[in-house]
Structure 1
Amino acid sequence: MPRGPAQLVLTASVARRYYLDGRSKVEIAEEFALSRFKVARLLEDARTSGLVRIEIGHPGTVDVELSGRLMAELGLRHCVVTDTPDEHPAALREHLGAAAADLLTEIVTEDDVLGLSWARSVSAMATALTELAPVPVVQLTGALARPGVDDSSIELVREVARVAGGPAYFFYAPMAVADAATARALRRQPEVERAFSLIDSVTIAVAGVGAWESEQSTLYDATGEAERAALARKGVCADVSGVLIDAAGAPVRARLTDRMVGITHAQMAAVPEVIGIVYGPAKVRAALAAVRGGLVDSLVTHSTLATALIEAAQDRAPRGGAAGGGAAGVR
């Protein structure tokens, strides 16, 4: 701390002029009859002593500091962490959907092609979206019937394309069918072929991340008990847009994969940026697997899950490594 009360008062007065009143160092030097070097030294003393504390804040619901920490830890391209309390999942989805909509509005340009796969969180994003560059919007997965839910991949693509004012490429087909032959036949349908022919052109995609357990994955809930157990034995940890992956992020081949009508693992990994909207403490391993496997490049999540992801990533980091080493260990 500054030595003596007189020095303390002088330091505080100089700091107040500079940080609160917006005065320049030259103006402060003239007022207090000091050299500019002395003013600079007093300002430095004010910071190092704790007399002046500088914080970077944000007036909205985005936790700027935690967003930056998670982005650095996982090596993400974009990261938005909201300080939303852990409420009912529907409330979390609403908040994260709004945050994802804001991110999409900011980063999507007229040169992009947007891909969307159905998830409850992506549907929340579409509902919150009010502005978007005029881009083509491509459906990446078939529809998944869910009791009591009216929206689907088709409505999702149509709604976002309406906001953007660009063309919508959608198709009428389920995400999973009874057998591989039916899936192959559906993929040859003209509207499905047209949408799938554009997948390689997608530059930004938005997807949900499901953990392979009850009520944490729409695809999990849509499969039978025996198939769920068999996939778990194969090491399935998560699904991203219907793509099954293990804890290391590697694809898991299974009969279900052959019955899917949607984007493949290789196609999703090739998309320049995939934004994953993830919520709930049960999805730590799933989210890390998606990032580790290169299927998700950006995250929109909430503070509780973000903190858990950082801790889990650091636990997996090489011993003796710095924070940057944690990112390398995860990706």
Structure 2
Amino acid sequence: MDMRTELSEFLRSRRARLRPEDVGLPRYGGRRRVPGLRREEIAQLAGVSTAYYIRLEQGHGENVSTAVLDAIAGALQLDQAERDHLDRLVRPVPRRSRGAQRPQRVRPALQQLLDAMADVPAYVLGLRMDVLAWNTLACALVGDFPSMPPEQRNMARQVFLTQAARDLYRDWEAKASDVVAGLRMDAGRIPDDPKLTSLIGELSVKSEDFRRVWATHDIRDKGHGVKELHHPVVGRLTLRYEMFRPPGDPDQVLLTYHAEPGTPSADALRLLASWAGGRADGPAAEGPGGDGVPGGGAGGRGVRRPRPVEGSAAAADGP
């Protein structure tokens, strides 16, 4: 990826979202030709010359000091994730300094932990939003990863290129934005990674929505939150998610889902765990893998679809 272009577009996008009143500047009469603050206004707020800021916004970040970068980040009202991303764009780490790209592997003990979390959907994301490991309940909830070719075990491909993901996430736009923000962070950390460049190119060609969201240059490092799902087996679910970085590997994230105790979503999640843990012969039920891909356990085998329990979220909402 061209880091000068990335730096230029990121700064312009952050400047465009600010209004004069957001930073304590007077708004004069007349219509502005461009959205957001002018470059000279950002320079004034940061205490640098307009020429200096213009050069930085053109992608020339060589030799910029930490103090100046902090001042510009403050003028643009960047949060910590955006500030870190700006620093990586200005001072990219070359491949030769990072060493050869290692294969992404999950430690056996971490996989054992996933398997032990029988009642908690959990999976591990690596670089480029690759899905590296999962447990049975995560397959039942999010997608049948074992049945997918390895190159398709990628959250960005699933979200933007499958109808199943659009049906699963009730606020699909928010999920798409989170996924793209993760890819943006990786683009700043591993800018010369050919697999990441190829993935972004593929998504840009195949998905107009990806091109639209990618152009926002939004960066977020969300560690927890709430997701609203509509599952094809158990219906509506309101689940909290938590994200953890395993010690010793900053490129991996463990993501878990859970429901508030005593809620219909907790009942529905228990029903889904029962469905996922069953092993029966016969036709496979279609799960969130969609497109005819069997849903179910970590071995990729289908299980029978259960009857929703009367009074549960699934019975009220339908499959």
Higher-Rg structure is 1
Global fold match (TM > 0.5): no
User: Shorter-chain TM-score: which interval?
Assistant: under 0.3
